[in-house]
Structure formats: C-alpha cells, structure tokens
C-alpha cells in the first residue's frame, strides 16, 4: 500500500509539473511578413533565354575526298583570308592530271593528222576535177574525191571536239588538285576543328565540315525565343540586359535588332526568334553560352514601390473574426452526388465563434489555437477515434480524408467549436473544462 501511494504521489508531482510548464508557455505569435515602402525605378520586363553566337560564322569544308595530310590551324587560331589551313593528300589528283594531259596530247595529234588528211583529200579532188574537165576520168571518180574531202572535214571537227573535251578534263582535275589545299575564306578565328591528320573525308553528297570560323567575336548576338503572348511588346531598338553563368555578378547589355516572323512550335508552344546584338570588346562572352535575357518594356523612374506579394491578398475567415466583421458570402462548393461534406460547415463554425465573449474566445485560443501543443493533443485524439467517428466528423465539417487529420478543409480548432459531439472529449485540466463549458453553451 505504501509503495502504491508513493507511486501515485510521484505521478501526481510529474503531472503537476508538466501541467505547470504547459500553462506557463507563452502564446505563439503568428509570423507576419512586412516590407518598407520605397521610392525607385519600376520596370516592366519580359524574360527569356537564348544562346550567344558570333554574328558571322563560316563553315569550311572539303569539296573533294581524300586523306588529311597536314593541318595548319587549330582551335582558337587567328587566320587570314586566303591562308592555307589544311592540305589533303594530292597524289591521286596529280595522277589524274597526268592522265588528262596525255589524253589532251593524243587529241591534239589526232587533229593534226586529220588536218593533213584534209589537205591530201583536197589535192586529190583538185586533180580529179581537172581530169574530169577533159573527160579523162569518169564522173564517179570525181564524186568519190568530193566525198573523201567532206569525210575528212567531219573527222577533223570530231577530233577538235575531243581535244576540247580533253582540255576541259585537264582543267577539272587541276581544279580538284587545287581543292586539296584548304584556305580560309575570311579573316577570323577558328572556333571548331572537326578532323585530324590522317583522317579520310568523303565528299559525296555534301562537303564534309573541317573548320568553323567566326569573323569577329567583338560583336556577338543572342537568339532568344519569346513567347507569343509577349512578342507583341517587343520592338527593334529596345534595351536588353542579360546574365551568363560564367559571370553571375556581371550584367551585360544589348539591343533588339530583329523579331523574326517565322513561328517556332514545340509541343504546341509557339515562340518567335528574337535577335539581340551584343558588344563584346573584352571577349569575355564566348559562343554557346546560355544567356538569361530581360527585355525592358516600360520604365517609371522615382516611383513608389511595394512588393508584388502585397498586391495579391485574400483575407481568411479568421481575419474577419479578429476584426469583428461579418463574413462575406461564399459560393457553395460540393459534389453533385451529395456524398461529400457540407461546404458551409466552416462558415457556421466561424459564426458561432463570433458570438462568443472575448473571455471565451481567449480561453479557446489558449487551449487550441495559440499553442502548438494544443493542436498536437487534438490531432492525437482524432487519431484515436474509430473510423465511424472520423467519418461523422468529416461529414459535419465538409472535409475530405487527409494524411491522418480531420480532413483537408476542417482543422483542429473547428473540431472543438461544436461541429463534432463534445461527449467524445474527456477534459483533463481546469482549462479544458472551461473550454468545454463554453462550447456547450453554443451547441
């Protein structure tokens, strides 16, 4: 018996100490965001992203197939127009040149031979004409001599055509031989090199790309895709600011130079390419960098400024209660099959709370709303209820099953404000008893 009394005494002391500590906890103060009204520039802008590119880029390719024999330029090399930057193996084309020269020489020899044959045929024709005039030969011999001359002339024309063809073939192989020497078409810098020495390139349908040259990196451009809802406010000449990840603390400027008419449709999203000219005198910007662009649409200097969040405000029912103002009318929201709860549950609950005295409201806030421990205890009670009791509570409060709570629309304070049977709660302290008595008066 003595041991039991001792345990009861210790238990009572522990509970008393815990209750005293709980009641001595200060009321929690809700966090309120504040901001100071300031004066400054207000800018309306449109955001987009784009890729930095050189204003003029040239792809240097090979017009003939072959093996890369030498490379005279590499990444970041400065090149001049006409400078040799690569060479292909010319041995195959040199052989073709020699063969074409031989074909031309043979065609020229044929022309000379046929020219001599014509002279001989003309001589025989003149002799046949003299003899025929004196009736020394039959007319058939004269006609044969005439045919021989015409045949020799036709063969000469054909031979001359073959000689011309041989000359053209020689010129073609000479051009191909010249194409084995790759030169720079512009003054610029090598941005990309796509081949190595010993690599074979095949120019069948299109010329393989060997180098990518940029004419001048001190002037660059950004191609940004602007959404169709904002493109109507973009005009050439507008000021643009942008940032790149390489220099997060630096801001760069540019000007809109062109808004293209061609739409870009990706997954039913329509955008329009906008070109922005960017000066790059110190060469800090590199081709391919991603730019986060801000296009300035309108500006007001020395305007009164407040955060955008302050312009988007929707008061809650608790705010109307705190100010003793009537609750505004709300449209009813619910399921068409009437299987959900009543959407006016929270509204009725807040109206009951408005009818309480200030002392009763204070007691209720201390018990349920002002201390996190009170909310935790109410949630624990809800978790200990049966499924039938939880269903009844949701039907009365208009909530839907949540993550172990009373529902998505009902809260713990609503449970204590009379929308659920008070007999389910067993008061454990004087403060709880006072709260239950207050609630019973408005049930």
Q: Which CATH superfamily is domain 216-307 in?
A: Efflux pump adaptor protein, beta barrel domain (2.40.30.170)
Q: What is the mean pLDDT of each run of 10 residues along the chain (443 residues)?
A: 65 64 58 81 88 93 93 94 94 93 92 88 83 80 84 89 93 93 94 93 86 92 92 90 94 94 92 94 93 88 83 70 70 53 56 67 58 53 61 50 38 41 50 51 46
* Nearest C-alpha neighbor of 200 from the set 69, 60, 61: 69
CA 426 to chain CA centroid, Å, is: 60
Architecture of the structural domain at 63-88+180-214: Beta Barrel (2.40)
Q: Which positions ≥6 away from 150 have C-beta within 8 Å?
A: none
Element (H, E) at 20: helix 2-23
Tokens of 257: 């130079």
Quote the CA–CA distance of 188 and 192 in Å, as a whole number. 12
Strands 239-244 and 78-79, sheet pairing: unpaired
**What crossing angle do the helices spanning 345-354 and 387-397 adopt, rounded to 10°?**
80
First to last CA, the chain: 45
Q: How does DSSP classify residue 308?
A: G
Element (H, E) at 258: strand 247-266
Partners of 211 in the β-ladder: 60, 193
Q: Name residue, tokens 């540019």.
A: 254
Contact 220, 53 (CB under 8 A): yes
Q: Give the model's pLDDT for residue 300.
A: 87
Residue spans per domain, the chain: 63-88+180-214, 90-179, 216-307, 317-323+342-441
Q: Which positions ≥6 away from 271 have C-beta within 8 Å?
A: 225, 226, 227, 228, 231, 263, 264
Number of CB atoms found within 10 A of residue 44's CB: 11
Q: Give the model's pLDDT for residue 146.
A: 84
Strands 78-79 and 84-88, sheet pairing: unpaired
Would the pTM count as exceeding 0.75?
Answer: no
Q: Give the model's pLDDT for residue 149.
A: 85
Let me know how many helices (H) and strands (E) the chain has, helices first.
Answer: 10, 14
């Amino acid at each position: 018996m003595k041991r039991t009394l001792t345990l009861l005494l210790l238990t009572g002391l522990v509970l008393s100490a815990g209750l005293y500590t709980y009641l001595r906890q200060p009321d929690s103060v809700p966090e309120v965001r504040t901001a100071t009204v300031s004066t400054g520039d207000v800018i309306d802008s449109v955001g987009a992203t784009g890729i930095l590119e050189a204003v003029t880029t040239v792809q240097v390719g090979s017009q003939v197939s072959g093996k890369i024999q030498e490379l005279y330029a590499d990444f970041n090399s400065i090149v001049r127009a006409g400078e040799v930057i690569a060479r292909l193996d010319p041995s195959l084309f040199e052989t073709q040149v020699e063969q074409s020269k031989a074909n031309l020489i043979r065609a020229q020899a044929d022309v000379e031979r046929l020219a001599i044959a014509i002279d001989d045929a003309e001589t025989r024709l003149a002799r046949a004409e003299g003899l025929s005039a004196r009736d020394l030969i039959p007319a058939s011999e004269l006609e044969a001599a005439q045919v021989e001359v015409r045949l020799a002339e036709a063969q000469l024309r054909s031979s001359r055509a073959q000689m011309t063809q041989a000359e053209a073939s020689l010129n073609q192989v000479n051009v191909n031989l010249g194409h084995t020497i790759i030169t720079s078409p512009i003054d610029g810098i090598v941005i990309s090199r796509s081949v190595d020495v010993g690599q074979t390139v095949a120019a069948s349908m299109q010329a393989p790309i060997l180098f990518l040259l940029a004419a001048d990196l001190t002037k660059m451009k950004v191609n940004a895709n602007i959404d169709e809802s904002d493109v109507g406010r973009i005009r050439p000449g507008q000021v643009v600011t942008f940032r790149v990840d390489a220099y997060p603390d630096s801001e760069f400027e540019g000007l809109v130079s062109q808004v293209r008419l061609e739409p870009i449709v990706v997954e039913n999203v329509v955008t329009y390419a906008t070109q922005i000219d960017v000066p790059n005198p110190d060469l800090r910007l590199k081709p391919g960098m991603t730019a986060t662009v801000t296009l300035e649409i309108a500006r007001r200097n020395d305007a009164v400024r407040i955060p955008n969040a302050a312009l988007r405000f929707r008061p809650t029912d608790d705010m109307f209660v705190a100010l003793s103002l009537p609750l505004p009318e709300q449209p009813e929201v619910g399921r068409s099959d009437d299987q959900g709860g009543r959407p006016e549950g929270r509204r009725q609950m807040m109206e009951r709370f408005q009818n309480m005295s200030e002392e009763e409201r204070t007691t209720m806030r201390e018990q349920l709303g002002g201390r996190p421990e009170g909310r935790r205890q109410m949630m624990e009670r809800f978790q200990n209820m049966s499924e039938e009791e939880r269903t009844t509570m949701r039907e009365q409060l208009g909530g839907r099953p949540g993550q172990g709570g009373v529902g998505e629309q009902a809260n713990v304070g609503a449970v204590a404000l009379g929308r659920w049977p008070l007999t389910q709660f067993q008061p454990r302290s004087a403060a709880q008893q006072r709260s239950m008595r207050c609630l019973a008066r408005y049930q």
